[in-house]
């Protein structure tokens, strides 16, 4: 299985390559990718440099253009496709059907991967994008069990890729409107869930209160680390229950499922985290590479117990839907 690694900066891109990635995915510094945070992502010149660096080390570069086009601003997205192709990217990661059609017509030789933002979670959806747009790989949503992934992979006419470490979206990607409801900026079109411009922290007595727009998302005691206010991971009161209603704010860690995913026929394992720093990228890629077996040539090596927990959100991890019994 390929190890697909994130990079939000040129420095992180080099670190991912050096740590043992088979491919690195990145995006342009605009609304065309779903990690459109200030200070993140690459210029055209930086992408050109990244592709050269990766190619000289037999590592592939995937460019995520995985938000949805806005009427009247389509050129922002089509230009991104054209530029990524001209610069020599190995694959485009796309979600918008119109953009898939554009890429297939203008750049038929380019590999097209269906982004997780498309939310392709059934055989009919996958068959459609393969037949209509020549999609070569589908990144599956993080709401599927291993058995469901295996069933889809057996019938799919393309490769499948799954997330195994990093942020855990508890919604079906591409379907969530919570952030746009709270802030007016859509994750699916503006490219950012819980935009930093709308994040607020304040003190109330002994508590730190985090907010998004006009909404209070969480309250933290002085003994708790105040996490980033992502709506679906807020702490709410529902009836008599007070807590994390959807999912605790922890990190997906599916290392324990790697053998099962290989048996299921999955082609690639993906690490989430373009918004994370170089240390995260380098350490997680290094440990995942060890767990998968050196440079793909030797046997798997033991990952230091608890190491990845220290790099995770909330200092805790979960296997998510891979072996989930939902509340």
Select the more confidently predicted residue: 276 or 63.
Answer: 63
- Secondary structure tally for the chain: helices H, strands E: 9, 15
Q: How far apart are CA 258 and CA 305, in angstroms?
A: 16
Considering the chain, what is the average pLDDT of its residues?
Answer: 89
Same domain membership, residue 205 and residue 225 = yes
Select the more confidently predicted residue: 276 or 42.
Answer: 42
Same domain membership, residue 284 and residue 220 = no
- What is the four-CA torsion angle of 104, 57, 284, 257, rounded to 10 degrees? 60
Same domain membership, residue 196 and residue 157 = no
- Could you tell me the pLDDT band of residue 167, with boundaries at 50, 70 and 90? confident
Select the more confidently predicted residue: 154 or 322.
Answer: 154
pTM, full prediction: 0.89
User: What is the b/e burial string over 274-296, where b = at least 16 CB atoms within 10 angstroms of the residue's CB?
Assistant: bbbebebbbbbbbbbbbbbeeee
State how far Cα 214 lies from the chain centre: 27
Same domain membership, residue 149 and residue 271 = yes
In a domain, 182, yes or no: yes
Q: How far apart are CA 31 and CA 160, in angstroms?
A: 26
Same domain membership, residue 96 and residue 239 = no
Calculate mean pLDDT across residues 278-289: 89
Residue after which a domain boundary falls, among 224, 244, 264:
244
Same domain membership, residue 79 and residue 223 = no
Same domain membership, residue 142 and residue 182 = no
With 80 as the cut, is the pLDDT of residue 147 above it?
yes
With 50 as the cut, is the pLDDT of residue 327 above it?
no
Residue after which a domain boundary falls, among 244, 272, 300:
244
With 90 as the cut, is the pLDDT of residue 116 above it?
yes
Nearest to 133 by CA among 97, 91, 90: 97
For 209-229, the pLDDT digits (tens) are: 999 999 999 999 988 878 888
For 286-326, the pLDDT digits (tens) are: 988 888 875 555 555 555 556 676 777 666 778 878 876 55
Same domain membership, residue 154 and residue 60 = yes
Same domain membership, residue 70 and residue 40 = yes
> Which CATH number covers residue 91?
3.20.20.70
Calculate mean pLDDT across residues 72-95: 97
Residue after which a domain boundary falls, among 244, 259, 291:
244
Q: How far apart are CA 78 and CA 136, in angstroms?
A: 20
Count up the domains in the chain and report the number.
Answer: 2
Question: What is the reported pLDDT for 178?
Answer: 82
Same domain membership, residue 75 and residue 214 = no
With 90 as the cut, is the pLDDT of residue 97 above it?
yes
In a domain, 173, yes or no: no
Supply 139's token pair: 């990144």
- Could you tell me the pLDDT band of residue 101, with boundaries at 50, 70 and 90? very high
Q: Give the range of the structural domain holding residue 309, as residue numbers without chain letter.
A: 2-168+250-323
If DSSP codes are grouped into helix, strand and coil, which group holds residue 15?
A: helix
Same domain membership, residue 62 and residue 150 = yes
For 264-277, the pLDDT digits (tens) are: 999 999 999 888 88
Same domain membership, residue 256 and residue 232 = no
In sequence order, what are the residues at sequence separation of 6 or more whose Cβ sits closer than 8 angstroms to the Cβ of residue 169? Answer: 142, 176, 232
- Phi first, then psi: what are they for 25, rounded to 5°? -110, 145
- Could you tell me the pLDDT band of residue 188, with boundaries at 50, 70 and 90? confident
Q: Among 111-120, 160-169, 238-247, name the one with the lowest average pLDDT.
A: 238-247
């Amino acid at each position: 299985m390929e190890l697909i690694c994130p990079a939000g900066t040129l420095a992180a891109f080099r670190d991912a390559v050096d740590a043992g990635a088979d491919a690195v995915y990145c995006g342009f510094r605009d609304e065309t990718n779903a990690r459109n945070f200030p200070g993140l992502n690459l210029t055209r010149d930086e992408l050109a440099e990244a592709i050269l660096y990766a190619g000289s080390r037999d590592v592939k570069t995937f460019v995520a253009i995985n938000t949805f086009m806005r009427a009247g601003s389509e050129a922002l997205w089509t230009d991104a496709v054209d530029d990524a192709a001209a610069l020599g990217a190995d694959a485009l990661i796309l979600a918008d059907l119109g953009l898939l059609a554009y890429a297939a017509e203008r750049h038929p030789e380019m590999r097209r991967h269906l982004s997780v933002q498309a939310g392709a979670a059934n055989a009919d959806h996958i068959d459609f994008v393969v037949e209509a747009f020549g999609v070569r790989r589908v990144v599956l949503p993080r709401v599927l069990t291993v058995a469901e992934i295996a069933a889809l992979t057996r019938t799919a006419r393309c490769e499948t890729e799954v997330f195994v470490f990093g942020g855990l979206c508890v919604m079906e990607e591409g379907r969530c409107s919570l952030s746009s409801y709270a802030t007016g900026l859509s994750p699916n079109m503006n490219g950012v869930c819980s935009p930093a411009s709308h994040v607020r922290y304040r003190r109330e007595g002994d508590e730190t209160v985090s907010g998004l727009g006009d909404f209070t998302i969480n309250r933290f005691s002085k003994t708790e680390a105040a996490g980033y206010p992502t709506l679906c991971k807020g702490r709410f009161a529902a009836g008599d229950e007070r807590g994390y209603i959807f999912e605790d704010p922890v990190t997906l860690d599916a290392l324990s499922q790697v053998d099962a995913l290989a048996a299921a026929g999955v082609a690639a394992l993906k690490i989430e985290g373009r918004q994370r720093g170089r240390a995260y990228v380098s350490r997680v890629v290094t440990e995942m590479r060890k767990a998968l077996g050196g440079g793909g040539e030797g046997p798997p090596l033991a990952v230091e117990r608890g190491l990845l927990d220290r790099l995770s959100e909330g200092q805790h991890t979960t296997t998510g839907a891979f072996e989930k019994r939902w509340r």
